[in-house]
Amino acid sequence: RFEKGRIYTFIGEVVVSMNPYKNLNIYGRDMIEQYKGRELYERPPHLFAIADAAYKAMKRRSKDTCIVISGESGAGKTEASKYIMQYIAAITNPGQRAEVERVKNILLKSNCVLEAFGNAKTNRNDNSSRFGKYMDINFDFKGDPIGGHINNYLLEKSRVIVQQPGERSFHSFYQLLQGGSDQMLRSLHLQKDASAYSYICPGAQIKCSINDGAEFKAVADAMKVIGFKQEEIQTVYKIVATILHLGNLKFSVDGDTPVIENGKVVSIIADLLSTKSDMVEKALLFRTVATGRDVIDKQHTEQEATYGRDAFAKAIYERLFCWIVTHINDVIEVKNYDTTIHGKNTVIGVLDIYGFEIFDNNSFEQFCINYCNEKLQQLFIQLVLKQEQEEYQREGIPWKHIDYFNNQVIVDLVEQQHKGIIAILDDACMNVGKVTDEMFLEALNNKLGKHAHFSSRKLCATDKTLEFDRDFRIKHYAGDVIYSVTGFIDKNKDTLFQDFKRLMYNSSNPVLKMMWPEGKLSITEVTKRPLTAATLFKNSMIALVDNLASKEPYYVRCIKPNDKKSPQLFDEERCRHQVEYLGLLENVRVRRAGFAYRQTYEKFLHRYKMISEFTWPNHDLPSDKDAVKKLIECHGFQHDVAYGKTKIFIRTPRTLFTLEELHAKMLVRIVLFLQKVWRGTLARLRYKRTKAALTILKYYRRYKVKAYIHEVARRFHNVRLMKDYGKHVQWPTPPKVLRRFEEALQTIYHRWRAGELIRSVPPEVLPQLRAKVAAMEVLKGHRADIGLQRVWEGNYIALKSDNPQTTGSFIPVANELKRKDKYMNVLFSCHVRKVNRFNKVEDRAIFITDRHLYKMDPMKQYKVMRTIPLYNLIGLSVSNGKDQLVVFHTKDNKDLIVCLFSKEPSNDSRIGELVGVLASHFKRSKRALQVSVTNPVQCSLHGRKCTVSVETKINQSQPDFTKHRSGFILCVPGN
């Protein structure tokens, strides 16, 4: 499988992962889609499959899950954790909610930052995690990540000051020197050459597959995304620079007094830490000691000053790392989550912790790291091998016991109260007086001499691989490891002089001050003895294992194919050894003989009861166990299950996945049924509500109609007695439904009021009134002056005021015409000025009766010059000004063009009256009379088309016609 590039293998729900030592194209978007929502057995083994299984278990059963990634250093644990995170990020938040995207982005970017400050190149691995990391990702009820929390364990801070041959310090130092801009390095008083700094000098020339320059930029970008402020990022790099400068301090003794040879470096350190150089110097060379009430400054020896300086450098880096983790946690922590509102909050934990290590020189850090791996192996044994077999026996399932190596004995050797190595180490650290590492080894020999997994040179005098007074050996589950006790006491005490804490607390940089809260304690204040490094680590490991045990675990077991980082080489012996100590063979045996899934009858029924008619919606069988049996037999799975006392056991995953498919199909039908019932309920409620609303609406409309009619009746109650018959009365606003009714009602009212007004008019005035109405209908809006305000006399030539000289000669002519043409009424008569087709302008008179229109010559005793029968008259044209132009249109196209004028008063407008009486007469005769109001006026003289336009002239005394190329112009006075 390794040679074909198939690096993943399944043992049930455990993924075995081989480190390919090369990039494989099996983690892209298309591969994510292949595993999304699929069951474990459906696709070839992959990390994505286990990540999806953990995610589905969490989402389906609302159960907290965790993915434990284990294996030795360089087996590919960190990469596996990154791919798992990448997968979870890719399959969640289909709705693209901004807050979820932010959390996902920060979770992914946090890896980059933590690797820079917590990983280093070792002889086994170019990107070895030098700290333990457990990340909890919190999900809401929809399965979207809403936050998280990172726990970090035992940073290998001794690497800051010393590294083994062929290894480097933490990546952050090299990244700053290689990736920092020239300006940045100048501000930090640094140069690009790493060999100039004694702390990281050994690793300066070592080749590493990590591109420090590119990683520096990636880390800076990631810190911005996470939410680090610019001044915080600057402080981070100031601390890294401070450590590099601290390593270059040289101490010497002048007589009895210790001095710093390169004092300039002190001022650089003071500048970077935002404090005073004399305070830095004092903290490095003296130790403040409180004896009762007295406080004295005790001088350091050269050795003590160097120890203090190194302890300070390690402590600053550790505090920086913890502060970065805390800062990330503050940003991604789930805030204001109320389970009653948002539903259950579930968790997937991802554990990526340092692997089992055997170096040429194994110290306190390797001891802690290997103890951690023992604890995780113990958890694996407890959950996968021991508990599973015990459960089969407890439930009465026939089972043949499978032997396995239980490493509890090694865990006890390290952590047991009063008897374990950590307890003996703590006792040695608490002894009064000078305690050496050799004395600690002696105590181990005395108390653990008979333990099968512990040995030293004193106990095995013939074993020359062990050094006298220095080495002891522990037989770990993964192999024998020889530890050198040198530095165990110091590293466990983890002493840092209080002077350094006070120095950092008094810094003017708020970020630094926040990292050292205990610096505010006064010198004389007595504090409780702090827990030792080993005890703190032991407590954190016990808490971690308890946390993992409370979740449903999924395992990724990482294996190194060889120690040469070669993508081709498969070292069979090396792989066999790892398979053995990881307990994978026993795991396979238990898996083959055992059952893939188990669940209590009650919970099993709760999930799958809908797939059988005998159990849905509730069963009537004697017990849940009988109901489960009936359900299983319905679908023919009885040969693949076993029934325990309280649980059902299913042997193969395929049966479980078939049940899941049936459950998913049935769920759709149930949801549709529920939707149908609920929609019906909603529709009935909506119908009742609508019906009620319509009833209310009907009665309300009726009320509004009645109220409106009552109000109209009230307002127009005595309308007959009102002077203006209710014209001043304000109509009430009608409801919308009565708008058209109101229009009809107002029309009826206006007609009634008009009738009342007309009834009050004397009969002799009625014809004049009708004529005025007819004139208004035709001319209103077209001509300004219609003459409605004056009395319309009609027969103006017969009036003495209008025609004093010739009235006597007109009346006999009128009477003669009455006798001859039998007319009944005179409609209108007036003096005019006319123009004919020969451009001749003359004064004439027009006399209009109910039968004819007569053109007369006043100068010849009102001799009739032309008679036009009214049935021959088809229309009138007038202009839209104040002039008196009238054109009578006839059927024979012999139009009559005249301009009315009156003698008394001279400016009287009679156009309105002429139009009104003719329009009224034609209306009574039920004939059409076309009246047009235009300027110029169109006319026809014996068939010839022409126009008459009106112009105003200031010096004109009388209206007069003049010839124009298109017809005539009527010039009227302008005043």
What would the DSSP string read from start to end of 449-462?
TT-TTEEETTTSTT
Q: How far is CA 472 from the centre of its chain?
A: 58
Query: Which residues neighbour 287 within 8 Å (Cβ) at sequence distance 6 or greater?
Result: 297, 298, 300, 304, 308, 497, 499
Instruction: Give dist(CA 597, CA 839) in Å, integer.
Output: 121
Q: Is 552 left (phi over 0), alpha (psi -120 to 50) or beta?
A: beta
Please answer whether residues 934 and 880 qualify as being in contact, where contact means their C-beta atoms are separated by less than 8 angstroms.
yes
Residues lower than pLDDT 70 in the chain? 41, 95-96, 292-293, 336-344, 385, 387, 522-527, 802-807, 903-907, 975
Which amino acid, 429?
C
> Active site includes 733?
no
> Active site includes 125?
yes
Note every long-range contact of 803-809, with CB atoms under 8 Å and residues 24 or more positions apart, other chains counting.
803/831, 803/903, 806/858, 806/862, 809/861, 809/862
Which amino acid, 335?
K
Instruction: Give dist(CA 564, CA 905) in Å, integer.
Output: 130
Catalytic residue, chosen from 12, 180, 355, 912, is 355
> Active site includes 636?
no
DSSP string, 690-725: HHHHHHHHHHHHHHHHHHHHHHHHHHTTTGGGSTTT
Please answer whether residues 558 and 71 qualify as being in contact, where contact means their C-beta atoms are separated by less than 8 angstroms.
yes
DSSP state of 795: B
Catalytic residue, chosen from 12, 71, 74, 881, is 74
Instruction: Give dist(CA 180, CA 176) in Å, integer.
Output: 5
Catalytic residue, chosen from 17, 19, 73, 92, is 73
Instruction: Give dist(CA 653, CA 204) in Å, integer.
Output: 52
Catalytic residue, chosen from 357, 365, 415, 913, is 357
Cα R_g (the chain), whole angstroms: 56
CA 557-559-562 angle, 5° bins: 175
Residue 797: exposed, middle, or buried by beta-carbon count in 10 A (0-12, 13-18, 19+)?
buried
Instruction: Give dist(CA 51, CA 295) in Å, integer.
Output: 59
Which amino acid, 72?
E
Tokens encoding 155: 């940073």
Please answer whether residues 567 and 7 qualify as being in contact, where contact means their C-beta atoms are separated by less than 8 angstroms.
no
- H/E stretch holding 856: strand 852-857
Using DSSP, state whether 597 is helix, strand or coil. Answer: strand
Catalytic residue, chosen from 17, 65, 70, 78, is 78
Please answer whether residues 107 and 23 qualify as being in contact, where contact means their C-beta atoms are separated by less than 8 angstroms.
no
Tokens encoding 541: 């490991």
Query: Which residues neighbour 639 within 8 Å (Cβ) at sequence distance 6 or greater?
Result: none
Report the candidate in 454, 551, 530 with the shortest Cα–Cα distance to residue 135.
551
Please answer whether residues 662 and 610 qualify as being in contact, where contact means their C-beta atoms are separated by less than 8 angstroms.
no
> Active site includes 540?
no
pTM: 0.64
Instruction: Give dist(CA 108, CA 94) in Å, integer.
Output: 17
Using DSSP, state whether 727 is helix, strand or coil. Answer: coil
Helix axes 277-285, 263-272, angle to 10 degrees: 110
Residue 645: exposed, middle, or buried by beta-carbon count in 10 A (0-12, 13-18, 19+)?
exposed
Please answer whether residues 566 and 20 qualify as being in contact, where contact means their C-beta atoms are separated by less than 8 angstroms.
no
Instruction: Give dist(CA 698, CA 540) in Å, integer.
Output: 75
pLDDT of residue 696: 95
CA distances from 696 to 29, 468, 690, 704, 738 (A): 60, 103, 10, 12, 18
Instruction: Give dist(CA 392, CA 386) in Å, integer.
Output: 10
> Active site includes 129?
yes
> Active site includes 974?
no
Report the candidate in 607, 595, 533, 40 with the shortest Cα–Cα distance to residue 315.
533
pLDDT of residue 503: 87
pLDDT of residue 189: 92
pLDDT of residue 942: 84
Instruction: Give dist(CA 285, CA 249) in Å, integer.
Output: 12
Instruction: Give dist(CA 338, CA 344) in Å, integer.
Output: 9
Catalytic residue, chosen from 92, 125, 235, 655, is 125
Using DSSP, state whether 163 is helix, strand or coil. Answer: coil
Report the candidate in 7, 10, 135, 28 with the shortest Cα–Cα distance to residue 75.
7
pLDDT of residue 865: 92
Instruction: Give dist(CA 689, CA 702) in Å, integer.
Output: 20
- Positive or negative torsion for Cα 112, 115, 117, 123: negative
> Active site includes 93?
no
- H/E stretch holding 140: none
Which residue(s) pair with 683 in the sheet? none
Phi (first) and psi of residue 137, to 5 degrees: -110, 120
Please answer whether residues 767 and 920 qualify as being in contact, where contact means their C-beta atoms are separated by less than 8 angstroms.
yes
Instruction: Give dist(CA 350, CA 128) in Å, integer.
Output: 17
> Active site includes 74?
yes
DSSP state of 917: H
Please answer whether residues 889 and 874 qualify as being in contact, where contact means their C-beta atoms are separated by less than 8 angstroms.
yes
How many percent of the chain have pLDDT more than 90? 28
Note every long-range contact of 768-775, with CB atoms under 8 Å and residues 24 or more positions apart, other chains counting.
768/792, 768/794, 770/920, 771/913, 771/916, 771/917, 771/919, 771/920, 772/912, 772/916, 773/916, 773/920, 774/915, 774/916, 774/917, 774/919, 774/920, 774/923, 775/912, 775/913, 775/915, 775/916, 775/919
Instruction: Give dist(CA 340, CA 353) in Å, integer.
Output: 35
Instruction: Give dist(CA 434, CA 431) in Å, integer.
Output: 8
SS3 string, 17-86, reads: EECCCCCCCCCCHHHHHHHCCCCHHHCCCCHHHHHHHHHHHHHHHCCCEEEEEECCCCCCHHHHHHHHHH
